[in-house]
Chain A
Amino acid sequence: MRICCPYCGDRDLREFVYLGDAAPKRPDPNAPDALEQFTAYVYQRDNTAGAHRDFWYHAAGCHAWLVVTRNTLTHDILAVESAKEVRHETAGR
């Protein structure tokens, strides 16, 4: 498997560390139901068949956290984005 890091280019899987689902967003710790929200954030994960976005860390490269969109059925990598950029874009919306 290969991941095209937006900073370093096309690289072998062994340079990366997998974390998991990129969908959950850290909830507002001051929300009245913060505990419930955090429980979901820490433990609830969808087991997607198809396109799935996960976090990968380019540990043996530029140390960037990436959001990789991957088809869990075909292993095709559909998109690779910098997590920082994704976060800025979401914040802008």
Chain B
Amino acid sequence: MSALQPFRLPSGGLIDRSRMLRFRFDGDEATGFAGDTLASALLAKGTRIVGRSFKYHRPRGILSAGSEEPNALVELRSDARREPNTKATTIELYEGLEARSQNRWPSLKFDVLAINSLLSPIFVAGFYYKTFMWPSSCWEKLYEPIIRRAAGLGRAAGASDPDRYEHAYAFCDVLVIGAGPAGLAAALVAACSGARVIICDEDFCFGGRLLAERRDMGGTPGHVWTRRVVDELTSLPDVRVMPRTTVFGVYDGGTYGALERVADHLPAPLPYQPRQRLWKIVAKRAVLATGAIERPIVFGGNDRPGIMLASAIRSYINRFAVVPGGRIAIFTNTDDGWHTAFDLAKVGIKVPAIIDSRPAVSPQLAAQASRATRILTGSQVVATKGRNALRAVTVRTPHGTKEIEVDSLGVSGGWDPAVHLCCHRGGRPVWNDAIAAFVPGSLSKGLMVAGAANGMLTLAACLFEGVRVGAEATQAAGFTAKSIDLPKAEDEASAATPLWHVTRSKGKVTRSKGKAFVDFQNDVTADDVALAEREGFRSVEHLKRYTTLGMATDQGKTANVNGLAIVAASTGRSVAETGTTIFRPPYTPVAIGALAGPHRGEGFRPARLTPSHAWAEEQNAVFVETGLWLRAQYFPRTGDRDWLEIVNREVRSVRSAVGFCDVSTLGKIDVQGPDAALFLDRLYINNWSTLAVGKARYGAMLREDGFVMDDGTTSRLSDDRFFMTTTTANAAKVFQHMEFCHQVLWPELDVQFVSVTDQWAQYSVAGPRARDVLAGIVDARFDISNEAFPYLAAAELAALGGIPARVFRISFSGELAYEIAVPARFGDALARTLMEVGARFGIAPYGTETLGVMRIEKGHVAGNEIDGRTTARDLGLAKLMSTRKDYIGRIMSNRSALLDPDRPTLTGFKPADKSARLRAGAHFVPVDGPASADNDQGVMTSVAFSPTLGHWIGLGLLTSGPERIGGRVRAVDPVRNNDVEVEICAPCFVDPQGERLRG
């Protein structure tokens, strides 16, 4: 044993002694070997205390050798990569690893808040609920910060995660979860039968308990057999072997969530390598071979560093060649615990005593124990000693009490099958008296269980069941299962009689002393469980929530069954009658980063760019997100003071000369077929059958409940062909609605439609000089004079010298305006040509802000008004509602409540004091009434500064608005402290007769 690793055995183990790795724990340098976990390397160094407990700040060591670990939680790595609450037992050692203990101050060995442990009589279950009740004003300011500082785990990094995470998908016939003997046997059968197989294990090394035990399999050690099977599986083409991969959840339809730790065993991910990969695996059948978890025994002082699961000691000796101490006693109620004593003897470690709570054990078992070991049957550990680590145990034997000096204690309370994944889709585990543990009950479709996870606790049974269940899964997935050769393995002794809790009251006999922990991670003791029961929390679900038993990040893997058994005993019921709580995904914690995967930052959602986006960037456009689209909001020029100045300039240039705006983001739908007009008639409130070819029309559609869904212009290109537009925001929704109407409501209609939003680039050219500009764009053979191409004309023609184009004489701005569309690939060229041709007419590009100002000046409704709560009548569109046909929403729009004349209706507003600013969201109240909810008469939906009028204007929904034109109300915005008297006017501020747009 070297000075650096005094507890490392000179030989043996599955570590690579040629690769020494340096690491630091709490700043101290230490070494380990490749193949170590942080826990095994710490034990090799002789570290006993690894952390402080959550509530009482008690010193804690390493309990287990796997992902069930409740105690040895550390902060791993530093700075932005710092990860709290990482289990030392699952951290694969790498060169330069840095870890720190958590929940201690100022240091691990001396912790000020360990005083909580002395105050423990008051820190009972429900302490916080009972104590920090009054006054309620203290909850957030005083109690919570103090409690949070005192109780706790590690610290989050507090910086943005520098690593990348991937999402990946896989499909297979048979998924095998767990690569112990049962899982390997199942995978081998399925793979040899030609099925596509995925086999995952959370460990970096396959083999499960075979790595931790000295077992002979047909003449070879278990780990050698494992390597052979893994090599064979790897050589097969349709098998994916996935170490470091935890299947953490079972979902509907044979879908399994798995987390692959791609780079957690490296100091940092390699370039272009994700840190972790989240897999969604779809499997026809899954074999759950997750093994079993040994449970501790509940006795006074059972959390002292040096007390470990007996099976974990075997893992450390046989796999890592590390012994946790020099004098190790065993406290067991199972034959299995004895094997730890035998293995310790083989590596020359003193086992002063085997303390077995059973009155007698089989003579064959007892005969195998070393003569130096005292065998104390019918005995129990009732107390432990040692300040920071175990020094001695007090044993109650049938012949009196003994104290035995030890530095470690292996505890074996029996095995709990890892049934967690069986519960994820609602299955409930059932109690099995034979092994005194829960085993899987009803299983969700496609899921099968093999080996220790199903309560088969011996090696031969695991292999046999692995093959049997593997074959069953293979057959069920549609393959003929082939037989495979199995090595011979003997069934080891595995008898057990449960001992749940070393109780205190035993008459004159020595009582169990000190806190007896049930849930180590949440510091829940046997007394807490008993108290909860006395206070009436008898249902296991209540007990769990009141005591927090099993609610830590380990989900009570080592705690739940003991807790249930204690409740069962105190209520005089059996464990089966008491019932169990069930487990939810994830099996072990999954980083939020892995769940988010690539969906962060710019990858959160894609950005849709219009065909002339690059051109707009060159023009210094400021962009705004509208749905997924990036649209030019306005085009700043040098010297502009603020956005209002820019927008005023853009509006004035449209109203006085000409401007153009990219409207490619509008939803565009090509509707064709003999019934196209009839179909649109049923979708929209207005008529399309009467629309002449070559004409455009504004339309609005309702939802079936009678409220407005969307609006837009649609043009008739031929008898059986329409070009329909939707608002940018509703494009996908409207298209989906049309598919519903066509496929579900009226499949008899002969109509087809397709979204062409991405296929056409479209620009609005607006202003008194719009026709002059357009004349330079459209090929000369087409006549676009006012006579040949009047307001609301629509045509397919050519532009830019033979490029197919569509021109619609429609106006959102109220000016003489056209929308011109060209195939998307010519959009950029069209934008540049518009600038060139328009230069001598004073053309300027404008963005969505200017678009908004001009539509408010004209009183056109937009998303602010079409908010899902307004009817066509509310928006002043009653005259569009056809009375000669049925359409979606017609019947419901005639409900009496929607016909109420007092409903808030679209109206215009001007400030009485022309210098006052209006605010969207302001509520209307009478001029002389209080600004109270009783007086609420509607809301201001849109406001803008009108450069045309020189003051602010607004659109809003006002109770009986149209009848009150000329009157006054107040627009009150208590959020921004704004209270303005406004004049009620018609919702159109510029050119109400529409002379300009017909000019």
Contact check: which of A38, A74, A84 meets B747 at CB < 8 Å? A84
Contacts known (A84-B744, A87-B747); A65 close to B891, Cβ less than 8 A: no
B282 contacts across to A, CB distance below 8 A: 2, 12
A26 contacts across to B, CB distance below 8 A: 704, 745
Within A25-47, the residues touching B (CB, 8 Å) are 26, 29-30, 34-35, 38-39, 41-43
B745 contacts across to A, CB distance below 8 A: 26
- Asked if residues A1 and B251 are in contact (CB atoms below 8 Å), the reply is yes
User: Contact string, A42-65, partner B, CB cutoff 8 A, digits 1/0?
Assistant: 110000000000010101000111
B273 contacts across to A, CB distance below 8 A: none
Main secondary structure of the interface of A (DSSP, over half): mixed
**Shortest CB distance B678–A (Å):** 15
Binding site for B on A (CB under 8 A): 1-2, 12-13, 17, 19, 26, 29-30, 34-35, 38-39, 41-43, 55, 57, 59, 63-65, 74-77, 82-84, 87-88, 91
- Asked if residues B739 and A63 are in contact (CB atoms below 8 Å), the reply is yes
Q: How far is the CA of A87 from the CA of B890 in the complex (A)?
A: 22
- Asked if residues A65 and B744 are in contact (CB atoms below 8 Å), the reply is yes
B interface bracket (residues with beta carbon within 8 Å of A)? 20 to 34
B426 contacts across to A, CB distance below 8 A: 74
**Shortest CB distance A38–B (Å):** 4
Contacts known (A29-B891, A39-B892, A42-B705); A19 close to B254, Cβ less than 8 A: no
- Asked if residues B894 and A59 are in contact (CB atoms below 8 Å), the reply is no
Seed contacts A83-B744, A87-B744; 9 additional CB < 8 Å A-B pairs: A12-B282, A19-B740, A26-B704, A39-B892, A55-B744, A57-B736, A65-B744, A84-B747, A88-B747
Contacts known (A41-B704, A55-B744); A35 close to B736, Cβ less than 8 A: no
User: For the complex, is B252 an interface residue (Cβ under 8 Å from A)?
Assistant: yes
- Asked if residues A64 and B743 are in contact (CB atoms below 8 Å), the reply is yes
Q: Which residue of B lies closest to A1 (CB)?
A: B252
**Shortest CB distance B196–A (Å):** 15
Within B716-750, the residues touching A (CB, 8 Å) are 732, 736, 739-740, 743-745, 747-748
A34 contacts across to B, CB distance below 8 A: 891
**Shortest CB distance B175–A (Å):** 15
B334 contacts across to A, CB distance below 8 A: none
A-B complex: 3 closest residue pairs judged by Cβ atoms: A2-B253, A1-B252, A29-B886
- Asked if residues B894 and A35 are in contact (CB atoms below 8 Å), the reply is yes
User: Contact string, B257-283, partner A, CB cutoff 8 A, digits 1/0?
Assistant: 000000000000000000000001010
Q: How far is the CA of A3 from the CA of B891 in the complex (A)?
A: 35
B895 contacts across to A, CB distance below 8 A: 35, 39
User: For the complex, is B81 an interface residue (Cβ under 8 Å from A)?
Assistant: no
20 contacting pairs across A/B (C-beta < 8 A): A1-B251, A1-B252, A1-B253, A1-B255, A2-B252, A2-B254, A12-B255, A12-B280, A12-B282, A26-B704, A26-B745, A29-B886, A35-B891, A35-B895, A38-B704, A42-B704, A59-B732, A76-B445, A84-B747, A88-B747
User: For the complex, is B425 an interface residue (Cβ under 8 Å from A)?
Assistant: yes
**Shortest CB distance A80–B (Å):** 12
Q: Which residue of A lies closest to B254 (CB)?
A: A2
- Asked if residues A2 and B736 are in contact (CB atoms below 8 Å), the reply is no
B255 contacts across to A, CB distance below 8 A: 1-2, 12
A43 contacts across to B, CB distance below 8 A: 705
**Shortest CB distance B69–A (Å):** 33
Point out which of A26, A41, A55, A77 has the most chain B C-beta atoms below 10 A from its C-beta.
A26
Within B879-903, the residues touching A (CB, 8 Å) are 886, 890-892, 894-895
Q: How far is the CA of A29 from the CA of B681 in the complex (A)?
A: 15
Q: How far is the CA of A35 from the CA of B894 in the complex (A)?
A: 8
Q: Which residue of B lies closest to A26 (CB)?
A: B745
A75 contacts across to B, CB distance below 8 A: 252-253, 425
Q: How far is the CA of A91 from the CA of B746 in the complex (A)?
A: 11
A35 contacts across to B, CB distance below 8 A: 891-892, 894-895
A76 contacts across to B, CB distance below 8 A: 445
Q: Which residue of A lies closest to B745 (CB)?
A: A26
Q: How far is the CA of A41 from the CA of B280 in the complex (A)?
A: 38
Q: How far is the CA of A73 from the CA of B426 in the complex (A)?
A: 10
Contact check: which of B739, B747, B748, B892 meets A42 at CB < 8 Å? B892
User: Contact string, B395-433, partner A, CB cutoff 8 A, digits 1/0?
Assistant: 000000000000000000000000000000110000000
Q: How far is the CA of A34 from the CA of B282 in the complex (A)?
A: 47
Q: Which residue of A lies closest to B891 (CB)?
A: A38
B740 contacts across to A, CB distance below 8 A: 19, 55, 57, 65
A64 contacts across to B, CB distance below 8 A: 743
Q: Which residue of A lies closest to B251 (CB)?
A: A1
Q: How far is the CA of A30 from the CA of B743 in the complex (A)?
A: 22
**Shortest CB distance B861–A (Å):** 23
B748 contacts across to A, CB distance below 8 A: 91
Q: How far is the CA of A65 from the CA of B738 in the complex (A)?
A: 11
Q: How far is the CA of A80 from the CA of B282 in the complex (A)?
A: 19
Q: How far is the CA of A77 from the CA of B886 in the complex (A)?
A: 36
Q: How far is the CA of A75 from the CA of B676 in the complex (A)?
A: 39
- Asked if residues B743 and A59 are in contact (CB atoms below 8 Å), the reply is no
Q: Which residue of A lies closest to B736 (CB)?
A: A57
User: Contact string, B445-468, partner A, CB cutoff 8 A, digits 1/0?
Assistant: 100000000000000000000000
A55 contacts across to B, CB distance below 8 A: 740, 744
A74 contacts across to B, CB distance below 8 A: 426
A30 contacts across to B, CB distance below 8 A: 886
B744 contacts across to A, CB distance below 8 A: 55, 65, 83-84, 87
Q: How far is the CA of A57 from the CA of B739 in the complex (A)?
A: 9
Q: How far is the CA of A93 from the CA of B704 in the complex (A)?
A: 26
**Shortest CB distance B149–A (Å):** 41
Q: Which residue of B lies closest to A22 (CB)?
A: B744
Q: How far is the CA of A29 from the CA of B251 in the complex (A)?
A: 43
Q: How far is the CA of A84 from the CA of B892 in the complex (A)?
A: 25
Q: How far is the CA of A17 from the CA of B892 in the complex (A)?
A: 25
User: Contact string, B822-850, partner A, CB cutoff 8 A, digits 1/0?
Assistant: 00000000000000000000000000000
User: Contact string, B198-213, partner A, CB cutoff 8 A, digits 1/0?
Assistant: 0000000000000000
- Asked if residues A38 and B892 are in contact (CB atoms below 8 Å), the reply is yes
User: Contact string, B469-510, partner A, CB cutoff 8 A, digits 1/0?
Assistant: 000000000000000000000000000000000000000000
Q: How far is the CA of A11 from the CA of B557 in the complex (A)?
A: 35
Q: How far is the CA of A7 from the CA of B255 in the complex (A)?
A: 21
Q: How far is the CA of A12 from the CA of B256 in the complex (A)?
A: 12
**Shortest CB distance A59–B (Å):** 7
B886 contacts across to A, CB distance below 8 A: 29-30
A84 contacts across to B, CB distance below 8 A: 743-744, 747
Q: How far is the CA of A13 from the CA of B252 in the complex (A)?
A: 10
Q: How far is the CA of A26 from the CA of B892 in the complex (A)?
A: 12
B704 contacts across to A, CB distance below 8 A: 26, 38, 41-42
**Shortest CB distance A3–B (Å):** 8
Q: Which residue of B lies closest to A19 (CB)?
A: B740
A87 contacts across to B, CB distance below 8 A: 743-744, 747
B251 contacts across to A, CB distance below 8 A: 1
A12 contacts across to B, CB distance below 8 A: 255, 280, 282
Q: Which residue of A lies closest to B282 (CB)?
A: A2
Q: Which residue of B lies closest to A77 (CB)?
A: B253
Q: How far is the CA of A83 from the CA of B493 in the complex (A)?
A: 61
Q: Which residue of B lies closest to A57 (CB)?
A: B736
Q: Which residue of A lies closest to B253 (CB)?
A: A2
B894 contacts across to A, CB distance below 8 A: 35
A39 contacts across to B, CB distance below 8 A: 892, 895
- Asked if residues A17 and B445 are in contact (CB atoms below 8 Å), the reply is no
A57 contacts across to B, CB distance below 8 A: 736, 739-740
User: Contact string, B890-925, partner A, CB cutoff 8 A, digits 1/0?
Assistant: 111011000000000000000000000000000000
Q: How far is the CA of A65 from the CA of B254 in the complex (A)?
A: 24
A65 contacts across to B, CB distance below 8 A: 739-740, 743-744
**Shortest CB distance B278–A (Å):** 14
Q: How far is the CA of A65 from the CA of B740 in the complex (A)?
A: 7
Point out which of A75, A77, A84 has the most chain B C-beta atoms below 10 A from its C-beta.
A75
Q: How far is the CA of A92 from the CA of B254 in the complex (A)?
A: 36
Q: How far is the CA of A92 from the CA of B464 in the complex (A)?
A: 56
Q: Which residue of B lies closest to A14 (CB)?
A: B280
Within B744-789, the residues touching A (CB, 8 Å) are 744-745, 747-748
